[in-house]
């Protein structure tokens, strides 16, 4: 099962704030919570645990599943053994995420705890960490993966490293998760407000595009908003892009687009033709449906740039009505109308849409 998640930081927000946020997220189908216990050092630890417990208990009543972020230092601080996870059972959490791990044997043994607690690994560690755990035959039903988020600008994972590290978990058939960042959310585990995405390329994208990005990689099951509190509109946008039947490319459309071209662009999903060109992503299905319609030339006789959305016009005969997206810039002789552009946030996703894949265009401007 794929899940949507939010993050809560009860040490930095009131119970009433958390309660309202949980209720709003629940309304849009969110079922996971990430929270961090890494701040639980010092004399006020017991008081903070009481605050966390109040929020976790209310979340449980709404059907949420909470995973808490911990590390070996916190185990030592709280005098907890990896052989006895009863502390987390009493906290009523679904599982614990190991921000930093042990040697591999400990993680594997933790998955066989008698409480069925999930053990979530830090996917962003890479190297041979996962392989060392799998060598000790963990209970895979209780083993999950979740990437880090990165509060400091320019420190998030590169797209290439993200894909490489995520694929290791896919190869073992493990459930995966990663973070997107709310532009309005200002609360995280630390006093840094540069956003909390997993991938650096997502840091300044809209939250809808960040979600589309994770979905399009095909490597992530659960999408979690890393900071609090996302707005209701952002919660809706993440949910809409997460549950969509097909990946969404957001598009900025030109005012001169014809009504027939709007139907071609938005009425149905698009199928990327399999005999792929280096210059154009082609959907030839609209030309079958609208081949008898007139599509007058406009916004043509120009050089087209990567991401431009085109419809073949009356001048190209049997190809009329075909929808195309430019992959490599070229100059046209007037047989194609430009009707819009893939949004700047989504332009980098064109390489993630493979031949024979189906996708949807979604208009961003009124």
pLDDT at 95: 98
- DSSP H or E segment with residue 143: strand 143-146
Q: What letters, b where the CB count within 10 A reaches 16 and e where it falls short, cover 258-278? A: bebbeebbeeebbbbbeeeee
Which residues are registered as beta bridge partners of 103? none
pLDDT digits (tens, 9 = 90+) for 4-60: 999 999 999 999 999 999 999 999 999 999 999 887 655 455 677 888 999 999 999
Q: Cα separation of 68 and 2, whole Å?
A: 19
First CA to last CA distance, the chain? 35
For the chain, domains (ranges, CATH) are: 4-244 (3.20.20.70), 250-363 (2.40.100.10)
Would residue 94 be called left, alpha or beta, if left means φ above 0 and alpha means ψ between -120 and 50 degrees?
Answer: alpha
Short-list 176, 181, 230, CA closest to 209 = 181
Q: How many C-beta atoms lie closer than 10 Å to residue 7's C-beta?
A: 26
pLDDT digits (tens, 9 = 90+) for 2-12: 999 999 999 99
Q: Cα separation of 350 and 185, whole Å?
A: 28
The pLDDT confidence band at residue 193, using thresholds 50, 70 and 90, is confident
pLDDT digits (tens, 9 = 90+) for 71-109: 888 888 888 888 999 999 999 999 999 998 888 999 999
- Residue 195 CA neighbour count, 13 Å, CB half: 21
Q: Pairing state of beta strands 143-146 and 308-312?
A: unpaired
pTM: 0.94
∠ CA 241-8-103, nearest 5°, is: 95
Would residue 328 be called left, alpha or beta, if left means φ above 0 and alpha means ψ between -120 and 50 degrees?
Answer: beta
Distance of CA 354 to the CA centre of its chain: 19
Q: Which residues contact 140 (CB under 8 A, 6 or more apart)?
A: 111, 172, 173, 174
Q: Cα separation of 158 and 146, whole Å?
A: 16
């Amino acid at each position: 099962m794929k899940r949507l998640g939010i993050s809560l930081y009860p040490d930095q927000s009131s119970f009433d704030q958390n309660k309202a946020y949980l209720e709003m997220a629940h309304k849009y189908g969110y079922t996971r919570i990430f929270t961090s216990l890494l701040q639980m050092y010092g004399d006020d630890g017991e008081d903070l645990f009481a605050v966390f417990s109040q929020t976790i208990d209310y979340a449980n009543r709404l059907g949420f599943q909470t995973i808490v972020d911990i590390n070996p230092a916190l185990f030592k601080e709280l005098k907890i053994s990896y052989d006895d996870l009863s502390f987390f059972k009493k906290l009523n959490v679904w599982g614990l995420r190991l921000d930093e791990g042990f040697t591999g044997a400990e993680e594997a043994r933790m998955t066989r705890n008698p409480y069925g607690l999930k053990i979530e690994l830090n996917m962003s560690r890479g190297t041979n960490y996962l392989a060392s755990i799998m060598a000790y035959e963990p209970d895979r039903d209780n083993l999950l993966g979740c990437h880090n988020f990165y509060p400091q600008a320019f420190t998030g994972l590169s797209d290439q490293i993200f894909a490489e590290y995520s694929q290791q978990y896919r190869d073992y058939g493990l459930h995966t998760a990663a973070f997107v960042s709310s532009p309005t959310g200002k609360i995280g585990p630390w006093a840094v407000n540069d956003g909390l995405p997993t991938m650096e390329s997502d840091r300044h994208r809209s939250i809808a595009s960040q979600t589309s990005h994770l979905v399009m990689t095909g490597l992530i099951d659960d999408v979690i908003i890393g900071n609090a509190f996302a707005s209701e509109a952002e919660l809706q946008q993440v949910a809409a892009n997460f549950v969509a039947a097909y990946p969404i490319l957001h598009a900025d459309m030109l005012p001169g687009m014809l009504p027939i071209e709007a139907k071609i662009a938005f009425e149905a999903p698009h199928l990327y033709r399999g005999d792929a060109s280096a210059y154009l992503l082609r959907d030839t299905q609209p030309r079958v449906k609208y081949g008898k319609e007139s599509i007058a030339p406009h916004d043509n006789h120009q050089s087209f740039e990567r991401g431009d959305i085109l419809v073949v016009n009356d001048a190209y005969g049997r190809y009329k009505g075909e929808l195309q997206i430019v992959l490599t810039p070229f100059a046209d002789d007037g047989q194609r109308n430009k009707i819009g552009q893939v949004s700047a946030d989504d332009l980098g996703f064109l390489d993630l849409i493979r031949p024979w894949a189906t996708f949807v265009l979604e208009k961003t401007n009124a």
